[in-house]
Amino acid sequence: MSPVLPSLIFCALACSPLPAGTVVITSVADPQHSGTPLTALDGIPLAAGTLIRVGAFPGMDDDEVLDLAAQGGLAGIHGAFTPFGSTFAIGQGVDGAAGGFEIAAKETSANAPWLGEVVSLCVETASGEFLVARFPGATFAATSDTGLEPLLALHLADARIIVGSRAAANRIATSTVPQAGSFGTWLAGHPGITDPLMKLPSADADGDGRSNFLEYATGGNPASGDDPPPCWIQADGSGGWWVRFRHVPGLGSVRYTLQASANPAQSWTDAGGALTPDPESPATMRLRVPPPLDPSGFFRLVVESAP
């Protein structure tokens, strides 16, 4: 130990006041939580300049947060978000690994607007993409005068992604401003649908064979049967194929899974491979099927509301 280190130690200690509460959040994989790197919408893992904040949206539910993001963008999120503790960066706590983080947010204020609120996470890239996640069941507990300071330990994989992009089971990405708000707000934008039964996510208000929820998730119009197909296949010009589907960037709670089958009457499995945004259309995701091709193959898009 160098002679100057002891004084540095005391300096470091003096910078860390006793907190009233701590929230630990990790994105590092474990047997119960897959943990692929967080990426931007273009599929590139988030870099060190990406900021992470822990906090809460006092008095707001998930749909209200999504609506706010869709209407007000990142500025709207900033206005409603009450931060808890410091600001962190991607790579922090994981030795700089791109797309990963493991942080401990500490706060000394005992009485603050986040008490009783759902723990939320905001990730913001230098380019202005962002992600909002909330942890169902995890709330900021009040600190009593005599009780132990609360500490929550959470994994990003247990979060509900409100704003962002989610593909398959575990791929999470930041997003541009959501192109739609919550399902209810989106449907309210189609006043021609008045029958309450036709407003259900599973209903098909326009009779085009696609449910309202599928229309919502793929940028369709629930009141029109003329929407283009949400999923299609095209030759890539070099012996393979592109399987493409439309999505709505920013709907973090919608999970898109491309499935494949050799015989659609039998089982379907995850198509595998890397889903990437179509450079020509940010609202389109694509999967390349390289040669040699099987004699026949079928693909389908599964959209579901992530838990």
- Least distance (Å) between residue 201 CB and other proteins: 32
Q: Does 194 bind other proteins (CB under 8 A)?
A: no
User: Which is closer to other proteins, CB of 23 or CB of 258?
Assistant: 23
User: Which is closer to other proteins, CB of 111 or CB of 266?
Assistant: 111
Draw the binding track, 12-51, toward other proteins (x: CB under 8 A; -: no contact): xxx-xxxx--x-x-x-xxxxxx------------------
Tokens at residue 69, please?
């993001």
Spell 114-150 as b/e; 16+ CB within 10 A means b. bbebbbbbbbbbeeebbbbbbbeebbbeebeeeeebb
Draw the binding track, 120-159, toward other proteins (x: CB under 8 A; -: no contact): -------------------------xxxx--x-xxx----
Tokens at residue 246, please?
């439309």
The number of residues that bind other proteins (CB under 8 A) is: 40
Tokens at residue 40, please?
């931007």
- Least distance (Å) between residue 174 CB and other proteins: 21
Residue 111's region, left for phi above 0, alpha for psi from -120 to 50, else beta, is beta
User: Which is closer to other proteins, CB of 26 or CB of 182?
Assistant: 26
Query: Which run of H or of E encompasses 67?
Result: helix 62-80
Query: Exposed, middle or buried by CB within 10 Å (0-12, 13-18, 19+), for 62?
Result: buried
Among 6, 128, 229, 290, binds other proteins (CB under 8 A): 6
Tokens at residue 199, please?
């407003």
Block residue for tokens 């960066």: 89
User: Which is closer to other proteins, CB of 33 or CB of 199?
Assistant: 33
User: Which is closer to other proteins, CB of 91 or CB of 220?
Assistant: 91
E strand residue ranges, 100-217: 102-107, 118-124, 130-139, 151-155, 160-167, 171-173
- Residues numbered 45 to 104 that lie near other proteins (CB under 8 A) are 88, 91-96, 102-104
**Nearest 10 degrees: CA dihedral of 290, 292, 297, 301?**
-10
Tokens at residue 264, please?
């659609």
User: Which is closer to other proteins, CB of 92 or CB of 165?
Assistant: 92
User: Which is closer to other proteins, CB of 32 or CB of 266?
Assistant: 32
- Least distance (Å) between residue 270 CB and other proteins: 24
Q: Does 302 bind other proteins (CB under 8 A)?
A: no
- Least distance (Å) between residue 81 CB and other proteins: 20
Q: Does 250 bind other proteins (CB under 8 A)?
A: no
**Nearest 10 degrees: CA dihedral of 179, 183, 186, 189?**
180
Helix (H, G, I), strand (E, B) or coil at 169: coil
Which residues of the chain form contacts with other proteins (CB under 8 A)?
1, 6-7, 9-10, 12-14, 16-19, 22, 24, 26, 28-33, 88, 91-96, 102-104, 106, 145-148, 151, 153-155
